[in-house]
Structure 1
Amino acid sequence: MAPHRLIRRKPRSPGTTREVRVQDPAASMALIFDAMKRPIDPLYEDVARKREATGEGLVRRPGRSPLLVVTVIALGFLLGAAAHALRVPDSVQADRHAQLVEQVEAKQKANDDSAAEVEALRTELDSNRSSALTRQERSNLSADLTAGERTAGAAAVSGPGLTVVIENPEDAEPDAADSDPRTGEDENALASSDLQHVINGLWSSGATAVSVNGQRITSLSAVRFAGSAILVNYRPLATPYTVTAIGPSDMQNKFESGFSGDYLTSLRKSDFTISTSRGNVTVPAQGTIRIAHAQPVR
């Protein structure tokens, strides 16, 4: 297609002519028309004709190679076999869980036996110490030592006191006994912070000795959570939680009329079962006492 054309116009004066070259408007579309008619580059088209003439045909795509298909299937089979081999069967997992439970129970029994042996030795030590104290010149030394043991939690204490029993609601998760209701994990289980409020309320009401489920609370004790259990003196506790305190006769009134009483009321509204009773109670001694400071008595 010619990009230009000639147009003859009439002369302005007699005897002269003028040629004007006018550009064809369709000339700019020539490249587009050529690409539509011949989409394949001429060089590629020549190569394709030569391949067809020699019988080579078109080159196969790599994705259609039978070797590649077989390789992919083999790799998938190997990965599946490896995953199946690494997966622990349910029966084996159950056996391992049972073995771990047995080991934990055996260690717990060994600890209990050791604690009983320690208690027997402590009783023998107390007897020998009492006989030795009677030979001392200071008559009040035995009384001071007994008072110090009670304060430090090294000796059991009996007397009038208060017992607070807290039970989780019936719909509480058994494996989330220590989840904090204020964090939204489980609104129906007692938290370690709840137990701390009760213990601190008893101390502020005049208690002289406190224990939780048989664990003596001293200045070195900690009430915390680990996983799904509340720990006191590093021993896991289970519901119901029995808090025992020895104190003056007005301890119950101070406890129930203060902040702790309001806190227990809020727990009752959350379907916790809480009961309080007053009478003669016994607060046991702490199992292990670590002496940080000592001085000889002469």
Structure 2
Amino acid sequence: MTVPDPDGGSGKRTYGPDFLTALFQNPLDPGYADAAARKAEGRGRTGAARRTAAASTAVVLLVIGFLLVVAYQQTVAEEPARTQARDELVDQVENRRGETAELQSRADALAEEVAALRERELSGAALARLRDLEAATGFETVHGSGAKVTLADGPTTVDPVTGERRTESRVKDTDLQLATNALWSAGAEAISINGQRLTATSTIRQAGEAILVNVQPVASPYEVVAIGPGDLAGDFRKGYAGHFFETLVGRYGMSFEATEVKDVTLEAATELKLRVATPSTPPPAPSGSSSSSPDGSGSPAPSGSASEGGR
């Protein structure tokens, strides 16, 4: 079917001989030729740039290698001085430890001498009163029955987002403070935490992840042993502290137990830092009689008051 030409022609498309000849002689469009020329020129430039980059990289690597060699030489040169300084510090630490051990031994010997003099010079009543005061203040070994509160860390979990360890399940210094205060309130007469006897100047505090009692580190499980009334353990469980620790057990998986103990021994506190001692004035003797000690020795019984320096 032939479509009529709107211009009145035959409707067939015809090409002149010049167009066909040019088409066969130059099959590519001029635009393609220009693109190919530009690409060839770019390849030449890229090769030069690559050679320049390679040269720059070689120079940078050479400089880095030189710096590494210099740093290594300086490190090797300084190593003998570091080793010597470290050896000197180790020797100083060992010497200080030896001096500390010698001083501690001397202090123990003097303490025994003071105790012997006290036993010899004091009367029976005064000595008994002094021992009672030492037991009450924590500087005398005591025996008796009471309660033992055991606290232990729960399982450690890791935060799935940050990867940090969670510390909610760990026993804190405030937990031990709560336990000891509750025992004092329930009538405890003497308390010890993992063998550390508590006194009026004792501290329970956190130092990083460790807990210090009397400046000595203690670890889980924490055993708080108290001497006091026979129902001390039951009163502790029924009180606020007992309910608080039960909540921690259910929420964070911590361990808590309060039991009665019989015939336990709490050692005396290891340190006694006496700062001030003032003798008290003896009461005036009745008229017509002389002041004498209860043992009839004729010398007044020594008495006095002392205060300890805080930490």
Q: TM-score range by the shorter chain?
A: 0.5 to 0.7
Structure 2 unmatched runs, 5+ = 1-47, 76-88, 158-163, 280-301, 304-311
Q: How far apart, CA to CA, are the structure 2 residues paired with 1:82 and 1:236?
A: 46
Decide which moves more: 66-75 or 224-233: 66-75
1:1-298 map, 5 Å: 64=52, 71-81=59-69, 122-134=111-123, 140-169=125-154, 171-172=155-156, 185-269=166-250, 270-278=252-260, 279-296=262-279, 297=302
Contact 1:165 1:240 in 2 (8 A): yes
Partner residue of 1:178? none
Cα pair 2:148 2:233 within 8 Å, conserved: no
Shift of 1:254: 2.3
1:21 paired residue number:
none
Whole-angstrom distance in 2 between the partners of 1:252 and 1:185: 31
Contact 1:207 1:247 in 2 (8 A): yes
Give the superposed CA RMSD. Answer: 4.0
Q: Which residue of 1 aligns with 2:3?
A: none
In 2, Cα distance between the equivalents of 1:70 and 1:142?
A: 90
Do 2:236 and 2:258's aligned partners in 1 also have CA atoms closer than 8 Å? Answer: no
How far 1:194 sits from its partner (Å)? 1.3
Deviations 1:56-96 (Å, cap 9, x if unpaired)?
A: xxxx99x9499865542233224455677899xxxxxxxxx
Residue pair 1:162, 1:281 contacting (<8 A) in 2 also:
no
Residue type of the partner of 2:256?
I
Structure 1 residue 127 displacement after superposition: 3.2
> If the length of structure 2 is used for normalisation, what is the TM-score?
0.56
Q: Give the C-alpha shift of residue 208 in structure 1.
A: 1.3
Is the alpha carbon distance of 1:112 and 1:198 closer, same or farther for their aligned partners in structure 2, counting shifts above 3 Å? farther
**Secondary structure of 1:140's aligned partner:** helix
Partner of 2:35: none
Deviation at 1:288, TM superposition (A): 0.7
The SS at the match of 1:130 is helix
Cα distance in 1 for partners of 2:117, 2:183 equals 35
- State which drifts further: 244-253 or 202-211: 244-253
The percentage of counterpart residues that share the same residue type is 31
Q: Deviation string for 1:248-284 (max 9, x for gaps)?
A: 2232232111111112212322222222222222221
Which blocks of at least 5 consecutive residues in structure 1 are unaligned? 1-59, 88-99, 174-182
Answer with 142-151 or 233-242: which moved more. 142-151
Alpha-carbon contact 2:156-2:165 (below 8 Å) kept: no
Compared CA separation, residues 124 and 267, structure 1 to 2 (3 A): farther
| TM-score, normalised relative to structure 1 | 0.58
Cα shift at 1:113? 9.1
Cα pair distance change 1:190/1:86, threshold 3 Å = farther
Alignment-derived partner of residue 288 in structure 2: none
Aligned residues: 212
Structure 1 residue 143: Cα displacement = 2.2
Change (3 A) 1:227 1:85: farther
Letter of the structure 2 residue corresponding to residue 254 of structure 1: D
Measured at CA, do residues 286 and 115 of structure 1 come closer, stay the same or move farther in structure 2, by a change above 3 Å?
A: farther
Per-residue CA deviations over 1:153-197 (Å, capped at 9, x if unaligned) read 11111111111122223x338xxxxxxxxx984223211111111
Question: For the residues of structure 2 that align with 1:104 and 1:201, how far apart are their CA atoms?
Answer: 42
